[in-house]
Amino acid sequence: MAVAIIGAGHSRFGNRRDVNVAELAWESMKQAFDRANVVQKDIDFYIVGMAGLWSSEAAVPSLIAEYAKLYAGSMRIEAACATGSASIGAGYNAIESGEADVVLILGLEKMQESPNPTVIEIIGRYGSYFWEFENFGLTFPAYYALYATAYMNAYNAKEEDFGNVAVKNHYYGSKNPYAQFQKEISLEQALNSPYIAWPFKLYDCSPITDGSACVILASEEKVKEFGLDDTVWIISQGSRTGTANLSKRENFLSFDSARRASQMAYRKAGIDAEKPYLHLDGADVHDCFTSAEIMAYEDLGFAKRGEGVELIREEQTYIGGRIPVNVDGGLKAKGHPVGATGVSQAVEAYKQLLGEAEKGRQVDIKHGRWLTHNIGGTGHYAYVTIYGLEKR
């Protein structure tokens, strides 16, 4: 049974201390309801993807039941920064199994309810608590920096290569009215920003973000029943889990979890894993740090091992290049509200495939397929999802 996205919504990302948790959720839900032309009683089940702890509300599905009058069955899902894609996967499975026909997926995070140092403290714990955080004080940038250092050493990548990822993603962020940072930056600005965790500087890091994103999924029968033709289908999803301790990983040049998740997604979609970019119009990859985007190029097969850095040097991931990547600004400029990120990527896939992205960042859709790569922690959870205009 095929599963479609029939509506999508996206709040403005950034400092959203102008709304509370429920109001922020409603912003994207309202848009998704309107777009799908459904109401609360049409929803059979809903999932709230939220990592939480930095924000006040924990029983968010109930908060939503009350605020939005949505009383279908529900659950909350957490898979660190891959929470959004994990939630979409669970919704997809609910429909595939025949248990539900219409499922609402809400990705949500209100990180700025806590001060930045508290958030830094909490995210640093998304590894092995005892063997990495408790005694060695690793932070989220530091985990990724361990990979970045190894990558620079192995493939002669430079800090300015990482800076160029920030420049690209800020360029596209400047064209996205929902992005946290809607300003272009220069390479000098990126390179002159202060160190956070060497080799990462401030502009290598995604920000602390509030935001919500929502998609409504429906079975093929419901798509017919509703008479919809502007839908995007979930073609496939692959997922894998990596070890808690980075010291248990084979090397620091690639996420084995992401590589295998992408192979699963390609196989199910019938996409050649050697040159997948020949079958895709674009991708959203998990650039929580700039080097992570370059590593994602390789883990996804957009470039050969060690050659990801060439893609950014040659501007091959801008629109018009080999494959446009993060033309919504990515986590880097659009922002990274942890639980909302994977859903935001799905919203971007939906908009791009239907030709509804804003001026200056709409990709020319030829193959009708878009990929999202959503990583929780530092390769701890990997979800690769392929969306398409034609059902599989």
Partner 1 sequence: MEYRKAGEKNIKEYGFPVTIDEKLGTLQWVDLRELTLSYLICIENIAPFFENMREGKLVTTRCPECGEIFFPPQKDCPNCMISEMEWIELGREGTLETLTVVFVRPPTFARYDPYVVAIVRLDDGVKITAWLRGDPEKVKIGDRVRIEIKRREKEGHYMYEIVPVEG
Active-site option among 81, 205, 214, 288: 81
Task: Read off the DSSP letter of residue 131.
Answer: I
Q: With binding defined as CB under 8 A, does residue 290 bind partner 1? A: no
Interior angle at CA 353, CA 31 and CA 81, nearest 5? 65
Q: With binding defined as CB under 8 A, does residue 137 bind partner 1? A: yes
CA gyration radius for the chain?
Answer: 19
Q: Which of residues 208-247 bind partner 1 (CB under 8 A)?
A: 245-247
Nearer to partner 1, 71 or 131 (CB): 131
Q: Which of 44, 101, 109, 132 binds partner 1 (CB under 8 A)?
A: 132
Tokens matching residue 183: 């300003």
Q: Which of residues 246-285 bind partner 1 (CB under 8 A)?
A: 246-248, 251-252
Q: With binding defined as CB under 8 A, does residue 294 bind partner 1? A: no
Q: Which of 1, 59, 75, 130 binds partner 1 (CB under 8 A)?
A: 130
Tokens matching residue 78: 């957490």
Q: With binding defined as CB under 8 A, does residue 120 bind partner 1? A: yes
Q: Which of 131, 155, 226, 318 binds partner 1 (CB under 8 A)?
A: 131
Residues 6-25 as x/- pattern, contact with partner 1 by CB under 8 A: ---------x-xx-------
Q: Which of 121, 184, 307, 315 binds partner 1 (CB under 8 A)?
A: 121
Minimum distance from CB of 194 to partner 1 (Å)? 7
Tokens matching residue 355: 């030709």
**Among the residue ranges 116-124, 227-235, 294-302, 376-384, the one whose residues contact partner 1 (CB under 8 A):** 116-124
CA distance 368 to 355: 10
Tell me how many residues contact partner 1 (CB under 8 A).
43
Active site annotation includes 205: no
DSSP structure string for 144-182 = HHHHHHHHHHHH---HHHHHHHHHHHHHHHTT-TT-S--
Q: In what order do the strands lie in the sheet with 381-388?
A: 73-77, 45-49, 102-110, 210-219, 3-10, 232-241, 381-388, 369-376, 282-284
Nearer to partner 1, 125 or 268 (CB): 125
CA distance 211 to 207: 12
Tokens matching residue 166: 């920030």
Q: Which of 118, 182, 241, 362 binds partner 1 (CB under 8 A)?
A: 118
CA distance 134 to 130: 5
Contacts with 238 (C-beta within 8 Å, 6 or more apart), sequence order: 260, 261, 262, 263, 264, 265, 266, 267, 268, 382, 383, 384
Minimum distance from CB of 369 to partner 1 (Å)? 35
**Among the residue ranges 93-101, 133-141, 231-239, 263-271, the one whose residues contact partner 1 (CB under 8 A):** 133-141
Indicate the pairing of strand 232-241 with strand 200-201: unpaired
Active-site option among 10, 170, 286, 336: 336
Neighbours of 66 (CB within 10 A): 12
Active site annotation includes 214: no
Q: Which of residues 148-207 bind partner 1 (CB under 8 A)?
A: 148-150, 153, 194-199
Q: With binding defined as CB under 8 A, does residue 142 bind partner 1? A: yes
Three-class DSSP category at 3: strand
Q: With binding defined as CB under 8 A, does residue 296 bind partner 1? A: no
Q: Which positions lie near partner 1, rule CB under 8 A? A: 15, 17-18, 56, 115, 117-118, 120-121, 124, 128-139, 141-142, 145-150, 153, 194-199, 245-248, 251-252
Q: Which residues are annotated as catalytic?
A: 81, 336
